Copies of this chain bind each other. A is one copy, B any other.
Amino acid sequence: MTGNGEWVETGAFEGVTWAVRRAAMAVLAFTDHRLRAMDMAPSHYSLLVTIDAEPGRSAAEAARRLNVTPQAVASLAAKLEDRDLVERRPHPRHRHVQELHLTDAGRDALRSAKAAVEVLEQRICRELGPEDTSRLIALLNRAADTTKDAAVADAGGAA
């Protein structure tokens, strides 16, 4: 169904950045739908993944990872704690800092969610083949790194 309902791609719809956005929108639409089916909000999933990757970090650090505000993370963490998926423990050295940890139930929920999302990974890899898949990943990472460089330069990081 390639290009069935797509509008004609002219002008602003040809560059790399547009292609990245388009792919990301598609991926998000898919994963959001899958996650919804198992009653997990996309933002919850993101936080669970982040905590799982770096257990014990503060809410502020998670917020920076996710590019959202600390308040948003606090709100998410509170909800996930209510559902016993996340645990907030006081930091050993800094008393008012809260460490974020996954509970066993949280790890289980994350595992299920990852499995539900994993099918897309396989689908794309099968369609593109292993060679083009790793080529795509490598190019994407180069583009992302370049973009981050551009961002710090733009913010005044360098002349």
**Contact among B14, B17, B145, B152 with A117 in the assembled complex (CB-CB below 8 Å):** B17
User: How many interface residues does chain A have, given as a range?
Assistant: 35 or more
Chain B neighbourhood of A147, CB < 8 A: 23, 26-27, 29-30, 120, 123-124
**Contact among B1, B65, B121 with A17 in the assembled complex (CB-CB below 8 Å):** B121
- Kindly state the separation between the CA atoms of A128 and B26 in the bound complex, as whole angstroms: 24
Q: Is the CB of B22 within 8 A of A23?
A: no
Contact code string A6-45 (vs B, CB < 8 Å = 1, else 0) = 0100111111110111111111111101100000000000
A105 within 8 A of B: no
- Which 4 pairs across A and B sit closest by C-beta, in order of nearness? A24-B24, A26-B147, A19-B140, A136-B139
